[in-house]
Amino acid sequence: MIHVLLDTNVVLDVLLDRKPWNSQSRAVWQAHLENRIAAYITATTITDIFYVARRHAGRDRAWHAIHACLDQLYLIAVGATELQTAATLAGRDFEDCLQIACATVANLDVIVTRDPPGFTNSEVEAIEPAELLNRLAPGS
């Protein structure tokens, strides 16, 4: 079983049906629901999702998005260790550094993101949804 951290952009692609990325991101989420992978998000992703979803789709859809995440995905707590680890990383974006820190502390296998270059300093490999789906294909 591959344990993956879903970056915020991948989750939002599914929840807000953002084209053209929604189909691959949805297939990754479906792989989790079918127990082919174990998909995690960070606690801070929840707040980011609510903020973005409310701005783009309204309050009701934002709450629906939050409940879908809490009901269907595994959650990684964000505490002092993760925040302090993120602050020591050399990345350009603190949110990406926090995702890296959480994936590292949780000992996950990969980070699934549409922005692998944002994770160049990560100990945990960062791949796009299509790459994960290729790895899950029969015979891979």
Residue 140 has pLDDT above 70, yes or no: no
Task: Summarize the confidence of residues 29-52 as an average pLDDT.
Answer: 97
Tell me what pLDDT residue 138 has. 84
In the chain, pLDDT over 90 holds for what percent of residues?
93
Strands (DSSP E) found in the chain: 2-6, 37-42, 74-76, 110-112, 125-127
Contact 66, 49 (CB under 8 A): yes
Domains of the chain, start order: 2-136 (3.40.50.1010)
Tell me what pLDDT residue 1 has. 94
Tell me what pLDDT residue 139 has. 77
Q: What is the pLDDT of residues 92-126, one digit of tens each?
A: 889 999 999 999 999 999 999 999 998 988 999 99
Tell me what pLDDT residue 22 has. 94
Average pLDDT of the chain is 95
DSSP character for 139?
T
Task: Check: pTM over 0.85? Answer yes or no.
Answer: yes
Contact 112, 4 (CB under 8 A): yes
With cut-offs at 50, 70 and 90, classify the pLDDT of residue 26: very high
Residue 12 has pLDDT above 80, yes or no: yes
Q: Which helix (H) or strand (E) holds 15?
A: helix 8-15
